[in-house]
Structure 1
Amino acid sequence: MNTSDSPARVLIVGAGHAGTDTAVALREFGFTGGITLVGGEQEVPYHRPPVSKAYLHEHDQPEVLKAPGWYEHHDVDLRLGDCVVEIDHSVRAARLEDGTTLGYDVLVLATGARARTLPHRLPATGCWTLRTYREAIAFRDVLRAGARMVVVGGGFIGLEVAAAARDYGCAVTVVEREARLLPRVASPVLSEAVTDYHRRAGVEILLGASVAEIVESADGSVRAVRLGDGTELACEAVVVGVGAEPRDELAQAIGAHCESGVVVDDAARTSVTGVYAVGDVTRRQVAGYNGRFRLESIANASEQARHAAAAIAAAHPPRPEVPWFWSDQSKLKIKIAGLVTGSTRLVVRGDPRSERFAVYHLDDQNRLVAVEAVNSAGDFMAGKKWLGARATPTLDRLSDTTVPLRELVPA
């Protein structure tokens, strides 16, 4: 990877959390050069997690990351409703969809990820991915008592939508091709508890089920989902929640090293001099874990933004943070600190049937690598603190909920 520059102009492509936080951090670190922030949506940069949560229930306006006046006050050229379609890094220039050319000294790619789709022809109306505020607002029209909905994919976003739909009184079926929900991101203990919770809430969950076809009505709308075994699930809406893939085409076009995501170092530098990448589009190493990871979280986006900004502004780099994630599914508040990869032993604290518990993950040397907390902020905060200190709590007392967490502090 490459050393930092002292640029006069920074172009940030993508105005989500990662891109916006990069602009904010650049000014916080004292960078006085020009900053241009380009975003494809019309809305002023806004909080994304509520798209599958709070925006489905309320909010007539998105929750903005910074007030509109902040950008002008801090001399950030915010260009909305346009996209970068081509980059000529040999002359450090980018062309927008409207034909405008923007020059730069340093480029920051914050292009995020797009929802994966199904390998089937989809009807013209009735299929949703819920990646933007406008999609969430439009989706509210679907959320009415008695409406029939199929959610394809038992990941966090799909389950958040399922929970919101049940709150509205919709009939919801979740179809997951794997043997359990959250198969790639959660322990079997958490998976089972989440499955039981949603089933008690009235969600039908079909595991080990594949989708063969989305059946279309004569008017071009969704009529049903046909499964691999021939079963038809009648519905008016299908939510596709089968993951996301990085928007790394621009990075590939300029020769940056990509592995299903733009590979970056600890300062968010790519393999191309003068080019950084931040957020969901990246793949990076995480201290204490083997391999490279693409972390889809606001925490990761903000952390990488600050590291990139520090490198660009030649400021002291921030301390690395413990990766963490969260999901709100009606009454379930799930928070995960660390990465479950490398976990070989679990310690459960609390009763998963009570909807308040935690799962501590240890590796083959009994070192703490992650904690999954359900409706238990104390366990999450303690686990995150221990992970940051590379410490492990007293294991022989960890499962005993009568022992306060403060008494489990490592020696």
Structure 2
Amino acid sequence: METTESALVIVGAGHAGSELAVSARQQGWAGPIMLLGEEGFLPYQRPPLSKAFLAGTADAESLALRSQSAYDSARIELRLGARMTRIDRAARYIELADGTHIHYSKLALCTGGRPRQLACAGIDAHHHPTNLLYLRTQKDAEAIRSHLQSGSQLVVIGGGYVGLEVAASAIALGAKVTLLEAQPRVLARVAGPALSTFYESVHRAAGVDVRTGVSLRKVHTEAGRIDRIECEDGESFKADMVVAGLGMLVNDDAARVAGLATDAGLEVDAFSCTRDPDIVAAGDCTVHHSPLYERTIRLESVPNALDQARAAAAWLCGKPKPNHGVPWFWSDQYDLKLQMVGLSQGYDRCVLRGATASRSFCAFYLQGDRLLAVDAVNRPGDFMVAKRALAKPVTLPPEIDLADESRALKDVLAVAPPVAVTGNH
């Protein structure tokens, strides 16, 4: 067993793990820090995988979050190709797939997630079709990119952000793209009908064959590859490659066995602490109570991963500072920058500021008079104003006209009274 005094061991070398390691050193952690990652690459950015990297406008070197020398300077031991299989909380060590035991003084779990697999008649779990791909890692993006060429037929299954971003990147490379979504509209789980309609029209105008409300009947294969996809309505789509964007499953197997995870993920508090005082967690694998929305949430976002990582590092170094960040996300498709702040679930009213035809507008989601979330398309200034407003948060009585563009948004929201949220600050 590898034993080190006051060792901080971080499992998962994504945005959260890399940030936690560096932040802990900056905030005063004096002992050894070991950062373990399953992949063979330096910790890298994931958002460009479906955008610039897939489209070929960014290379692998540009993805790195930090250089090797940055980890060396911070005295962070980076161990790649290491997969954790077990946590022994009583003896305070983790076990790796190769049988190695690594002792920890404090443990940080930043294990992220993995793509949800496509389940459909014709898919043999033991013989994965070679042209059925998912997008989560750099290798995934490289595999998709190697299959894409001008004129190739891509079928994207899933009309969420990943599916739409892959479709946009593939169109830019000259591929023929069909997108199949089971819901009545794209982005159905995360945005209102106005935004869905807008993005469907944008993709159709770019050449994507968008099909919504479709169910898969069977995948037909030849020589270990998907040849075509048959839908319940009888229509079939030929495919040189299929990319499934069906959401994410949390990597929490070891944590679950160790009693740290629920069905939703690893439970953490505002300091990123788990129920074990020696273990923190950050990133996509975690769930936490949101005072802002008064419910338990799990966020798949880089800003949340960074916020939780910094909170964990501060707590580990004896400088506790709770994380009360407002959820925010972004998506790049074609020439459109979509920036989202807040969570719109439960809204009963949507107000548009600006015309969708202008390709520059905001959608405000309200529950009664309470502002829940804002989607901003090509309006970075309005997004920043909305982000500050949601941090309060605010109510918007009927006399406040969000759609009135004769007044600057900051002036409109300046008169909005705040909402008292228990435990937010």
TM over 0.5: yes
1:63-100 per-position Cα deviation (integer Å, ceiling 9, x unaligned): 21111111111111110011111221110111112222
- The normalised TM-score by structure 2 is 0.91
Shift of 1:361: 1.4
- 1:304 counterpart = 2:302: no
Shift of 1:374: 0.8
Map of 2:281 onto structure 1? 277
Map of 2:205 onto structure 1? 200
Q: Secondary structure at the match of 1:32?
A: coil
Map of 1:389 onto structure 2? 392
Map of 1:368 onto structure 2? 371
- Given candidates 144, 151, 154, the residue that maps to 1:149 is 154
Map of 2:113 onto structure 1? 113
Is contact 2:271–2:323 with CA below 8 Å preserved after alignment? Answer: no
- For 1:57 and 1:256, the matched residues in 2 are separated by 39
Q: Secondary structure at the match of 1:300?
A: helix
Shift of 1:287: 2.6
Moved more, 284-293 or 302-311: 284-293
Map of 2:290 onto structure 1? 286
- For 2:411 and 2:315, the matched residues in 1 are separated by 40
Shift of 1:60: 3.1
Q: How does 1:8-407 map to 2 (within 5 A)?
A: 8-58=6-56, 59-62=58-61, 63-120=63-120, 121=123, 123-217=128-222, 219-317=223-321, 320-364=324-368, 366-392=369-395, 396-407=400-411
1:326-381 per-position Cα deviation (integer Å, ceiling 9, x unaligned): 111112211100111232222110011221110111222x1221110111111211
- For 1:409 and 1:156, the matched residues in 2 are separated by 29
- For 1:396 and 1:256, the matched residues in 2 are separated by 45
- For 1:410 and 1:347, the matched residues in 2 are separated by 18
- Partner amino acid for 1:10? L
Shift of 1:135: 1.9
Shift of 1:318: 5.4
Is contact 1:393–1:410 with CA below 8 Å preserved after alignment? Answer: no
- The normalised TM-score by structure 1 is 0.94
- Partner amino acid for 2:155? V
Is contact 1:386–1:392 with CA below 8 Å preserved after alignment? Answer: no
Instruction: Report 1 or 2 for greater relative contact order, CA contacts < 8 Å, sequence distance ≥ 6.
Output: 1
- For 1:94 and 1:319, the matched residues in 2 are separated by 27
Q: Which runs of 4+ in 1 moved over 4 A?
A: 392-395
Is contact 2:55–2:172 with CA below 8 Å preserved after alignment? Answer: no
- For 2:139 and 2:46, the matched residues in 1 are separated by 11
- For 2:408 and 2:214, the matched residues in 1 are separated by 42
Shift of 1:410: 1.9
- For 1:369 and 1:169, the matched residues in 2 are separated by 39
- For 1:17 and 1:137, the matched residues in 2 are separated by 19
Q: Secondary structure at the match of 1:279?
A: coil
Map of 1:3 onto structure 2? none
Shift of 1:138: 2.5
1:84-142 per-position Cα deviation (integer Å, ceiling 9, x unaligned): 11221110111112222110011111110110011131553111101111221222222
1:173-225 per-position Cα deviation (integer Å, ceiling 9, x unaligned): 111111111111111111111111111111111111011222111x2112111
Map of 2:419 onto structure 1? none
Map of 1:4 onto structure 2? none
Q: Secondary structure at the match of 2:60?
A: coil
Is contact 1:393–1:408 with CA below 8 Å preserved after alignment? Answer: no
- For 2:32 and 2:357, the matched residues in 1 are separated by 54
- For 1:361 and 1:157, the matched residues in 2 are separated by 22
- Partner amino acid for 1:139? I
Moved more, 135-144 or 30-39: 135-144
Moved more, 294-303 or 143-152: 143-152
Is contact 1:246–1:280 with CA below 8 Å preserved after alignment? Answer: yes
- For 2:217 and 2:27, the matched residues in 1 are separated by 52
Q: Secondary structure at the match of 2:255?
A: helix
- For 2:302 and 2:171, the matched residues in 1 are separated by 26
Moved more, 58-67 or 279-288: 58-67
- Partner amino acid for 1:149? L
Shift of 1:257: 3.8
Shift of 1:319: 5.2
Between the aligned residues of both structures, percent identity stands at 39
Q: Please list every run of 5 or more consecutive structure 1 residues that lacks an aligned counterpart in the other structure.
A: 1-6
Aligned residues: 403
Q: Secondary structure at the match of 2:354?
A: strand
Q: Please list every run of 5 or more consecutive structure 2 residues that lacks an aligned counterpart in the other structure.
A: 416-425
- For 2:346 and 2:317, the matched residues in 1 are separated by 36
Shift of 1:302: 0.3
Is contact 1:245–1:260 with CA below 8 Å preserved after alignment? Answer: no
- For 1:183 and 1:162, the matched residues in 2 are separated by 17
